[in-house]
Chain A
Amino acid sequence: MSANVAGARGSPRVALAALTAALIVSALVAAFIIAPPEMEMGDLQRIFYFHVASAWTAFLAFFVVFLASVAYLKTRAARWDIVAISAAEIGVVFTSVTLLSGSVWARSAWGTWWTWEPRLATTLMLWLIYVAYLLLREMVDEPERRGVFAAVFGIMGFADVPIVFMSVRWWRSLHPAVVTNEGFNMDAQMLPALFLSLAAFSVLFAYLLLVRTGLGRSEFRLAELRQRLYWRQEGIDLDE
């Protein structure tokens, strides 16, 4: 039976992997070949396509953590807890990519690896909140309690993000604003690269989430089987 389940899940996974690969290749082509070099920054600006896409994906991931946390508190179904932890891990990875790529860019564009600017500070706080989320899960042993505490923190942490952004906003902002009231503040030839990498990263996120939740489900099954084995060895009959 379990082989059937794995088979049914296998095909969308392969399709999604193929789609991800295709989108990543086209995003690379669009970013490095089609898009013109930026007027002032030159080729350096190309990091922007992946920087923005990873920031977007991180927010998407944390939103998924929030939704899964609410669903877990409502249903107490282990699958929502698995979705939440999976999305949180992926979100932390993409936030790290955002911080690192931004830092590399800032070294050349602003002359410093780091500056206390609202968007940077917000992103760093976001990273810290979800690293704390992952550590919290290590500190609570009992699975259901771990799920509830993590969900509570997942909801509070996500509600915090807009306030963190507000709280750091009244410092002067250096960060380039791409989307303004007048529309996109960039060359039309750059747009395909931006949108393709946004799409590529989003689909990559979906793929990683699928793989990671699959792993989480296996872990869950394994823990269950271990428990049953232990009970059987102790002579406790469960199937009565």
Chain B
Amino acid sequence: MATAFAVLAKDVRSELRARQAVSGSVVFGLLVVVIFNFAFDLEGEAGEAAGAGALWVAIVLAAMIGFNFIFAQEREQGGMEGLLLSSPDPSAIFFGKLAGALLFTLALEIVLFPAFALFAGVSLLSPGLPVLTLLGTIGFVTVGTLFSAMAVTSRSRELFLPLLLLPVAAPVLIAAAEGTRALIQDQPLGDLLPAISILGAFDVVFLALSPPLFQFVMEEMAS
């Protein structure tokens, strides 16, 4: 727990100083939202029907840009060996990295949600939104953290992460987009249940699998 927190604090500090991942991703995410609005004319009814999908695609694409930074510093400066030496527990390192990526993605969403609501002229205000967003974000960020650890050590890492993450995280995208659409269309909260249960199932399965698998990945990163 202390290790996880130390890793998180270190990453937050270095991000606050460099402001690389968040600012780059936020601008990229805004660009995607704007382009989708032009391309699909997402105002009014079209926004209600297709906007949620566009929004979540923008979030995932922008977040993926940031994921490349999660392990980048560790790779370049031999930081991975340092991390391995400093802690006997790889899953603590994983949770620290995961918490950092989660904070970063939530920061991204705090900018993208109002921007989308403004451009598409829809309301996202609903008690269901924080639940959906948190569950959805935990889901694809968990897988993203694990896969970005593999991506930094491979050739063509720019291609590696989206290629692996998108098919595996597809259920999250589908469920989050369907849930957000129900929410934009002002359907009763009960209609969010299938989306929430799928996101929950995804989160449980991947939170359980990722830390032990990360251990194997980390050994390879340090070697």
Contacts and interface: CB of A to CB of B under 8 A. Distances in A.
Interface in B154-197: 154-156, 159-160, 163-164, 167-168, 170-171, 174-175, 178, 194
Interface stretch (B4-12, B25-33, B111-119, B200-208): B200-208
A149 B175 contact: no
A160 B147 CA distance: 14
B174 A167 contact: yes
Nearest to B170: A125
B159 to A, nearest CB: 7
Contacts of B34: none
A150 B205 CA distance: 19
Interface string B202-217: 1001100110010011
A145 B153 contact: yes
A168 B174 contact: yes
A156 B213 contact: yes
A167 B198 contact: yes
Interface residues of B, number: 33
B198 A149 contact: no
Given A139-B154, A141-B155, A152 B167 contact: no
Counting contact residues on chain A (CB < 8 A from B), the size range is 20 to 34
B220 A145 contact: yes
B49 interface: no
B57 interface: no
A160 B163 CA distance: 15
Contact of A136 (B160, B175, B219): B160
B61 interface: no
Nearest to A164: B171
Contacts of B167: 125, 128-129, 132, 157, 160
Contacts of A166: 171, 198, 201
A208 interface: no
Nearest to B160: A139
B206 A159 contact: yes
A159 B202 CA distance: 9
B216 A156 contact: no
Contacts of B58: none
B146 interface: yes
A129 B150 CA distance: 16
Contacts of B213: 73, 152, 155-156
Nearest to B210: A156
- Which of A136, A141, A152 counts the most chain B CB atoms within 10 A? A152
Contact of A156 (B156, B178, B198, B206): B206
B59 interface: no
B174 to A, nearest CB: 5
- Which of B159, B164, B198 counts the most chain A CB atoms within 10 A? B164
A148 interface: yes
A223 interface: no
Contacts of A125: 167, 170
Contacts of B156: 139
Nearest to A140: B154
Nearest to B205: A159
B69 to A, nearest CB: 20
A41 to B, nearest CB: 31
B42 to A, nearest CB: 20
Nearest to A144: B220
B63 interface: no
A136 B216 contact: no
- Which of B167, B174, B175, B213 counts the most chain A CB atoms within 10 A? B167
- Which of A140, A155, A167 counts the most chain B CB atoms within 10 A? A167
Given A163-B198, A166-B201, 18 more contacts: A125-B167, A132-B163, A132-B164, A135-B163, A136-B163, A139-B156, A140-B153, A140-B154, A145-B153, A148-B220, A152-B146, A153-B150, A156-B168, A156-B210, A156-B213, A157-B168, A164-B170, A166-B171
